[in-house]
A and B are shown apart, each in its own frame.
Chain A
Amino acid sequence: NAGVTQTPKFQVLKTGQSMTLQCAQDMNHNSMYWYRQDPGMGLRLIYYSASEGTTDKGEVPNGYNVSRLNKREFSLRLESAAPSQTSVYFCASSLGDSTAFFGQGTRLTVV
């Protein structure tokens, strides 16, 4: 039982490059989330998807786009990476308003 799987685990980008962070869950959850975590800032919500086909902005959406490809997969795209996007990114999923389960995280460095 894999739970929530994120890829890649580590990534280094140059300023201006683009990339997509992948997230998949096998728990048949309808809600999925992307967070970023920076020192002293806690987890900040970037985007969330309450169900397949819907997405909504969170606290810090600027510079990011998301795609809810199907019920299992929710990807996060950085179109033109900036050093301010250096962070640890977490994907999570939940069944409706119940407990959210987290992936292992992606450590992204933008140089």
Chain B
Amino acid sequence: QKEVEQNSGPLSVPEGAIASLNCTYSDRGSQSFFWYRQYSGKSPELIMFIYSNGDKEDGRFTAQLNKASQYVSLLIRDSQPSDSATYLCAVRGLYGGATNKLIFGTGTLLAVQP
């Protein structure tokens, strides 16, 4: 089992719809959670981070965290074709080491259809 798991997709949504991206993680002690967006051939760029249980909103993006279920999600409202990219979930935790590591999931490919 990977330490951070995501459905690889592709997730296809029509323009204007809500895209829902999900991520689960194995280290119950993990404290911080990140969503990155990566366009093809480019480096990852941060969309949002979340540290506490509940929802965090930033414009069209909402991150949701449930530590009891070891689950984090990203909602994208009013999806645009420019949102089409791979979305990477990242979790910071010890994962057997002495200091916190930043571990990524395999990413979910989102395709927004015009």
Contacts and interface: CB of A to CB of B under 8 A. Distances in A.
Interface of A: 33, 35, 40-45, 48, 50, 54, 56-59, 90, 92, 94, 97-105
A58 B97 CA distance: 9
Given A42-B106, A42-B107, A56-B97, 8 more contacts: A33-B102, A40-B8, A42-B104, A43-B90, A48-B102, A50-B99, A98-B49, A99-B34
B104 A44 contact: yes
Interface string B56-98: 0000000000000000000000000000000010101000011
Interface of B: 6, 8, 31-32, 34, 43-46, 49, 88, 90, 92, 97-107
Contacts, number: 56
A97 B103 contact: no
Nearest to A104: B43
A54 B49 CA distance: 26
Contact of B43 (A33, A57, A102): A102
A45 B92 contact: no
B104 A48 contact: no
Contacts of B31: 97
A98 B102 CA distance: 10
Contacts of A90: 43-44
Give the most central of A42, A54, A59, A90: most B CB within 10 Å: A42
A103 B99 CA distance: 22
A16 B106 CA distance: 29
B43 A103 contact: yes
13 contacts: A42-B6, A43-B44, A43-B104, A45-B102, A48-B102, A56-B97, A56-B101, A58-B101, A90-B44, A99-B46, A100-B46, A102-B44, A103-B43
Contacts of B104: 35, 42-45
